[in-house]
Structure 1
Amino acid sequence: MLEHGGNLRDAARRFGRSDWIDLSTGINPHGYPIPTLAPDAWHRLPEPDARLADAACTYYRAPQLLPVAGTQAAIQALPRLRPPSRVAVSAPSYAEHAHHWGLHGHMRRLVPYADLDRAVDDSDVVVVVNPNNPTGETVPPARLLDWAARLRARGGWLVVDEAFGDTAPTLSVAAHAAQPGLIVLRSVGKFFGLAGLRLGFVAAHETVLAGLVDLLGPWAVSGPAQDIALLALSDTAWQQETQRQLDSSGRRMRALLQAHGIEANGTPLFQWWPEAQPEAFHEHMARRGIWCRLFRESARGVRLGLPAGEEGWQRLDQALSEWSKR
């Protein structure tokens, strides 16, 4: 299993603290408030809810969507829907994409963002994370749609992972995903702070969605997850206020890092930089009860999410000050 953020039990076993500030995931620390659910959400089999699909299509501006148990479920299933193919995966980016395309007989290669345009013409599938996790790099929608058209002409796919796309809605290409060859992944885990629901959506042509339904089987998304997501995706007042809050917090994080000599890139939900001593920085923070995301390989560096409250901001400021003065 690949390494990911959010592994606070590992942090506690290694460093023995209980007062952790978890900045390792890039998940909104002020998630959507969970309502009291009707009893039948728990005891009925979770049949598909057309209201959820309609709310998701409105929110993501997509013509058709399939709810899945987190975008991870789609990432693992999509490689099983194609015969052996030449697959280019944006690098660095969310490692699960390359991992799963490599498990199912495909000829997979990692391609830097700057080289993706050239990779389109000798690939059958191109996978792009936009905005990128962990670096925050982005690709304009017009370029993505051009790539999708070039791949579609040969029966290929462009897979765009927009899991962190809620804070940059103008980047989304979900509105175009009814056309063959374009597949867009969306998540309620990041912006809505509901990672524990394990709920995401796939926007794609109906043949791809039908293939996913066959692979994933019945009852793929729990009833409570459907009920909570229906409320969250329909709550425009909460969404607008959260956009404002995250934008403010993202600016604060960039300013804090700059004040300590760190030039970072990212989204309102996280910042990443190519730290010269990432292992040392990670341990420095961990010994102060701050859990950040360490990247050792292609994206060698550090990613920080947002603290949940003022005490977390102050502890982060102090830890950064001690790091810069070491």
Structure 2
Amino acid sequence: MLEHGGNLRDAAKRFGRDDWVDLSTGINPRWYPAPALEGNAWHRLPEPDPALTVAAQAYYGAPHMLPVAGTQAAIQTLPRLRAPSRVAVSAPSYAEHAHHWAGHGHTLTLTPYDELEAAVAHNDVVVVVNPNNPTGTVVPAEQLLQWADQLAARGGWLVVDEAFGDTMQHNSVAAHTARPGLVVLRSVGKFFGLAGIRLGFVGAHADLLRDLADLLGPWTISGPAQQIALTALTDHAWQADTRRELHASGARLRALLAAHDIRSSGTPLFQWWAEAQPEAFWQHMAERGIWVRLFTQAARGIRLGLPPDEAGWQRLHAALTEWTNR
């Protein structure tokens, strides 16, 4: 299995402490307050709730959506819906995409963002994480739609992972997923801070969604997850307040890093930079109870998310000061 953030048990075992500030995931540290559940949520088989799909279509602006057990379920399954293809995956980006497209007979190319346009002409499938995780790079929606049309004209796909797209809905291409060949992945885990319920959505042409649903099988989303997500997706006041808070917190994080001579990029939920000494920085932070995401492969660097409270901000500031003055 690939390594991911959020592995606090590993951190505690390795460093022998339990007072962690977990900045390793980029998940909103102020999660949506889950409502009280109906009693039968734990009893009934979780047949799909049409109201959840309607709420997702309204929230994401998509004509058709399929609930899945986190976008990870779609990432693992989509490669099984195509015959062996030439696939370009944006790099660096969320590693699970390349990991799964590399299987099932596909020919994979890891493609830097500035080479994606050229890759469209030579591949059957192009996968773009937008905004990118971990760097925050953004491809304009207009460009993505042009690529989608080019690929669809020869039976290809453009897969756009918008897991971190909730703070920049204006750049989403989910509204255009009725056209063949455009697939959009959205996550409830990041913006809503509900990674534990394992829920995401796929926007695509109805025929592709039908094939994906058949392959995933029945009862993929638990009853409690459906009830919680339905409330979250329709709580417009919470969504508006949270977007304002995240933009302010994201700007604060970027300014804090800049004050310590770190020039970062990212989204309101996380910042990333190509740290010259990533292992040393990660070790320095871990020894102070701050768990950040270390990247050592295609993109050597550090990604960190938002502290959950003022005490967390102060601990991060102190650790950065010690790093700068070492």
Alignment of 1:215-294 (within 5 A): 215-294=215-294
Q: Secondary structure at the match of 1:302?
A: strand
Query: Given the alignment of the two structures, is residue 59 of structure 1 paired with residue 25 of structure 2, yes or no?
Result: no
Could you list the per-position Cα deviations for residues 166-207 of structure 1 after superposition, in whole angstroms to 9, with x for gaps in the alignment? 001111000000110000000000000000010000000111
Query: Given the alignment of the two structures, is residue 36 of structure 1 paired with residue 36 of structure 2, yes or no?
Result: yes
Structure 2 unaligned spans of 5+: none
Work out the CA distance in 1 between the residues paired with 2:18 and 2:125.
44
Q: Quote the offset at 1:299 in angstroms.
A: 1.4
Q: Which residue of 2 aligns with 1:183?
A: 183
Alignment of 1:105-124 (within 5 A): 105-124=105-124
Q: Which residue of 1 aligns with 2:320?
A: 320
Query: Given the alignment of the two structures, is residue 95 of structure 1 paired with residue 75 of structure 2, yes or no?
Result: no
Identity between Structure 1 and Structure 2 (%) = 71
Q: Which residue of 1 aligns with 2:307?
A: 307
Q: Which residue of 1 aligns with 2:5?
A: 5
Could you list the per-position Cα deviations for residues 254-280 of structure 1 after superposition, in whole angstroms to 9, with x for gaps in the alignment? 010011110000000000000000000
Q: Quote the offset at 1:219 in angstroms.
A: 0.2
Q: Which residue of 2 aligns with 1:149?
A: 149
Could you list the per-position Cα deviations for residues 33-73 of structure 1 after superposition, in whole angstroms to 9, with x for gaps in the alignment? 01110111111001111110011000000001000000000
Alignment of 1:173-212 (within 5 A): 173-212=173-212
Q: Secondary structure at the match of 2:202?
A: strand
Q: Quote the offset at 1:312 in angstroms.
A: 0.3
The amino acid that maps onto 2:73 is: A
Q: Quote the offset at 1:240 in angstroms.
A: 0.2
Work out the CA distance in 1 between the residues paired with 2:231 and 2:283.
40
Q: TM-score, normalised by structure 2?
A: 1.00
Work out the CA distance in 1 between the residues paired with 2:171 and 2:11.
35
Q: Secondary structure at the match of 2:239?
A: helix
Q: Which residue of 1 aligns with 2:298?
A: 298
Work out the CA distance in 2 between the residues paired with 1:30 and 1:208.
35
Work out the CA distance in 2 between the residues paired with 1:2 and 1:130.
21
Q: How many positions carry a matched residue from both structures?
A: 326
Work out the CA distance in 1 between the residues paired with 2:186 and 2:65.
10
The amino acid that maps onto 1:217 is: G
Q: Secondary structure at the match of 2:238?
A: helix
Work out the CA distance in 2 between the residues paired with 1:198 and 1:170.
25
Q: Which residue of 2 aligns with 1:15?
A: 15
The amino acid that maps onto 2:57 is: C
Alignment of 1:151-166 (within 5 A): 151-166=151-166
When the two chains are superposed, the root-mean-square deviation of aligned CA atoms in Å is: 0.4
Work out the CA distance in 1 between the residues paired with 2:240 and 2:25.
22
Work out the CA distance in 2 between the residues paired with 1:206 and 1:147.
20
